[in-house]
Structure formats: structure tokens, C-alpha cells
Amino acid sequence: MRIRTLGAIALAASVMLAGAAAAETPQRGGVLIQAYVTEVTSMDAHQARAGDSRVMLGPYAAYLVYVDSEGNFLPGLATGWEWESETQLRLDLREGVTFHDGTPFNAEAVAFNVDRIAGRTEPAIVSPGAADMRAVTGIEIVDDLTIRLSFDQVRAGFIQQLGAYWAGMLSPTAIEEMGEGFALAPVSAGPFRVTEYRPGAFVTYERFEDFYGVDEHGEQLPYLDGMRLMILPDNASRAAALQAGDIHLDQRVEAAQVMQLEADPNINIVEIPGFNARWIAFNTGLPPMDNVHVRRAIIHAINPEEVNMALHQGRAAAANQFFSPTSWAHDPDAPWLEYSPEKAREEMALAGFPDGFSFSAAHYGGPWRAEAELIQSQLRRVGIDMQVDAMDLASFSQLYRRDAVYHAGFTGHPMTARDPAHLFHAFHHSTGAFADPSRTTVYDEVIDRALLTLDDAERGAVLSEAFRMVYERAGEAYYIWVPAHRAFRHDVRGYALFSDGTSDCVTCWLAR
């Protein structure tokens, strides 16, 4: 159970995990060993570049707001928030909080963090949250525990962004004192402090005695004495380590290992359905990918059910739009281009390639390796030749997104990490971080409109309009929604997830 507030809002059912009988009293002590697949880009939360960095950042970083797996906002360092006008937000801050280094947390510290993320401090950093924080045009420190932010325009979804992985509140004194070294020994106000960080290998954390959080009985959190997080990139090794008892918790289980772990009576598996959307982004600027019939032919030729059966044991679901049913932005009535080899051939004829055509695609490994290979085989059945190149993320960003030398790129997004309009913006707006390499502006107007719409229902309607545009352009090939899996040994209790599918283990304890 994860308790953060006076109102005692418990996390939703999905955090009540097998073996964690509610009646059990948490036991204190012990060191939890967990493993994750990949390294953070930076342990400085502001400069981390991937949503899953939260696995490593979460234990030490404290956030103003948390978003639970149901999408509810939970108070963190902010105990309250209120839109005083459409462009003015007041945050009430928690009293008596200090950072790990003893620096007091207050309105001053929040102002510093907002400025730093926006890139307005010296030396200026580049944060993935820069655009969100630059929208803050005025900061007013009302008193030590009250701060007022003003915006250039309506910013729907800003509260959710305060819970994003990059929005951790970091100690201003530590940042100023340590400079570059901060990323190796970061300081915030989270439940654990970082005691050692070996890039690429492991992080060790120690319980922060003065953490502000308590459980529903008023007991001080966290229960654990410490944690050790190891980077183990090989999926099979991670699963084996878990089964051997070398680690307690695997924060990323791939489909190929799920069956194996399910068969192990000592291991619990958490499934987060429809968590990851996987799709092929088209570079609509590069012929023949500029031809809508070519794109439609590809989409019709992909058999999502086969991908599901072969690679996800039927646990996944065929995708037909950007958001899976787990998101409120999902539109059950959205039209899509279903799997149909006949229609694929018709579209090929319409495109002027009745005998097939060839295109290049890039991916950056991970689950895409197998999916790309299977889809390659599917496309070949109708005569479409997809040349696939595997590369690392940096090369992918450069070659696919920046240099636009590939016709298509395998990509995807986790469902609930951000506000839907922001997420859609990132991939479709011409200024988005992951926009189509051709930087098409066709979606800009509708996205801008969604971002200015504060009401969720109205915003959903605007987004549905955008989905229809994607459908009409056949702008990208959604193929599957994949559940995410986490696995832990039976002696781990109290494991809870945030909306982005990560956990900071603040409520974890080890049963003995």
C-alpha cells in the first residue's frame, strides 16, 4: 500500500499483488536486489532522456506530484494544487521536508528546479522537460511553502508533467556544489539516498532516515535498509538470476521469459495490460513512402495476430490506434486498416507496384528485433521487400529521425507515461521530439487545439479527430499493444507501480 497524503488515497488494485496479504505487518530491514535491462542516460533526473529511467531515478528522486497506475494524481512534495485562472497555477508545498544533504525543501528550491529544467540556470542543461517548463513565464514565491506559476497560455496536462521522470526536485545546493559530479552522486528528497553509482553496472541505495512519507499506520517509510539495482542487459540472464534467487525483483521481463517465470512457484508476475504500443513510423517524405497506397499496402499486409501469437503468446492485442484501451484517450469507434493480404495487393496495384516494392526500415533492437523479422516475412508473402537494419538508439535517432535516410522506423510508446495530448504531440507535431522525419505539419493545428483544451472529454474528442487523420493518411502502422511484465520473488511484498510502469519500491519490504 502506498500512502502519501492526509486523505490516505490508496493505490489501485493493480498494486495489490499476489502474496501481499493485506493483514501482513511490514517487516523492517533488509536489502532488496533488483535488476533492470538498461542504463539511465543520466542519474541527474533533469537530464535523463528515457521514461524508463524512472526505475533508477525513482528511489532517490522526490516529485511534486505522483500519478498512480489508474492515472490519479497523488500529492508528493506538493500537498495541493489549484488552477487559480486558466494560466495560473498555485502549488502548496509540504512542510518540514529536507533533501538528503540537509538542504531545506521550499518554494525557493521549486523555483530553482523549474528554471533548471527550462534551461534557464547556469550552466544551462538540456532536459526533456524543457518545453514544458519554458511554458512557465512567471514564478511568484508567495511564501516559503507556496509558489505561483504563470503560463503563456492554457497548458492542459501540466500537473501530469510534474510527475514525469525528469521532474524530480533536486537539491539546489548539491547541484551548485558538485557541478558535473552531481550525476554520479545525485541528491534529492526521495525515500532512498544514492550511496554508490557505477555507470553501466549498478546503483546502491540506502534508506533516507528523514524521508517525509509514512504508511497508513503512520509508520516511517521506507521499510528497507537499502537497495541494490544492477544493470543486466540480457533478458534470459535476468530471468535466470531471479529464479536462482540472486535478485529479488526484475523490473523488466520480456515476453520470451514470461512463460518460464510463470512456471516457477517462487515467482510472482505482474502484468500491465496494453502498456506498450508498437508501431512502424513512416518517413512520408521519402519515396515511395510518400505514396498513401504504399503505406496502406504495408499496413494491410501486417498480421498483428500472428505477431501476438508468435512473440507474445497471445497476451498482446492487435492495435488499431495510438492509444490502447488503458488510456482515457482511446477511441473505441476509431476506424483502422485491418489485416488483409487481398487489400494489400489492391493497394500495391493502386500504388503502381502490383509486383511488389522495396523499402528500408530501422529499429534499435530489443523487442523490435523479432517483431521486425516476423513482419518482414509477412510483407514478403505479398511481395513487399522490407530491408531491416538494427542499430543502437543513438544511431536510430540520427539516421532515422534526423537524417531521414530510412523509409520507416520501428517505434513505440508506453501508454500512460504522460498526458495523452502531450504524448501524441511528441510523435506527430512537426516540433515534437519524435516527429515523422519529414516534419509534416498536417497534425499541428489539431494538436495545438488539444493542448489548449483543459476539459478531458473535449480533449478526447479533439484527439479522436487526430486519429481519423492518421487513419486517412495511413500515416503509421500500428500493429500491437503489448502488456508489460515485472517479476519478483515471493518474499518481496508491497511492490507498487506508478502510471509509467515503474516503481520506486518505497513500500517494498522483505518477508523473512
Instruction: Tell the residue number behind the cell numbers 493497394, with chain if given.
Output: 347
Site for other proteins in 395-454 (CB under 8 A): none
From residue 205 to residue 244, the character string flagging contacts with other proteins as x (rule: CB under 8 A) and all else as - is ------------------------------xx--------
390 versus 442: smaller Cβ distance to other proteins: 390
Supply angle C-alpha 379, 381, 383, rounded to 5. Answer: 70
In whole angstroms, give the CA distance from residue 195 to residue 327.
Answer: 37
Supply angle C-alpha 7, 507, 268, rounded to 5. Answer: 125
| Contacting range for other proteins; rule: CB under 8 A; set: 154-162, 168-176, 255-263, 442-450 | 255-263
- Binding residue for other proteins, selected from 119, 285, 365, 383, defined by CB under 8 A: 365
DSSP letter for 29, please.
-
CB of 376 to other proteins, least distance (A): 6
Binding to other proteins by residue 8, rule CB under 8 A? no
> Is the Cβ–Cβ distance between 443 and 477 less than 8 Å?
no
Q: How many residues of this chain interact with other proteins, rule: CB under 8 A?
A: 27
220 versus 260: smaller Cβ distance to other proteins: 260
CB of 256 to other proteins, least distance (A): 4
- In the chain, the amino acid numbered 158 is F
50 versus 388: smaller Cβ distance to other proteins: 388
In whole angstroms, give the CA distance from residue 290 to residue 438.
Answer: 10
In whole angstroms, give the CA distance from residue 169 to residue 46.
Answer: 9
From residue 303 to residue 342, the character string flagging contacts with other proteins as x (rule: CB under 8 A) and all else as - is x--xx-xxx-------------------------------
From residue 374 to residue 393, the character string flagging contacts with other proteins as x (rule: CB under 8 A) and all else as - is x-xxx-x------xxxx---
Which among 38, 392, 39 has a CA at the least distance from the CA of 184?
Answer: 39
| Contacting range for other proteins; rule: CB under 8 A; set: 251-259, 341-349, 449-457, 502-510 | 251-259
C-alpha cell at 222: 521506507
Instruction: Tell the residue number behind the cell numbers 505479398, with chain if given.
Output: 382
From residue 63 to residue 102, the character string flagging contacts with other proteins as x (rule: CB under 8 A) and all else as - is ----------------------------------------
> Is the Cβ–Cβ distance between 39 and 200 less than 8 Å?
yes
387 versus 431: smaller Cβ distance to other proteins: 387
> Is the Cβ–Cβ distance between 143 and 107 less than 8 Å?
yes
Q: What is the chain's Cα-based Rg?
A: 23
Which among 414, 484, 415 has a CA at the least distance from the CA of 269?
Answer: 484
C-alpha cell at 434: 519524435
| Contacting range for other proteins; rule: CB under 8 A; set: 35-43, 212-220, 370-378, 413-421 | 370-378
- In the chain, the amino acid numbered 371 is E
Name the residues that contact other proteins, by CB under 8 A. Answer: 235-236, 254, 256-257, 259-260, 303, 306-307, 309-311, 365, 369-370, 372-374, 376-378, 380, 387-390
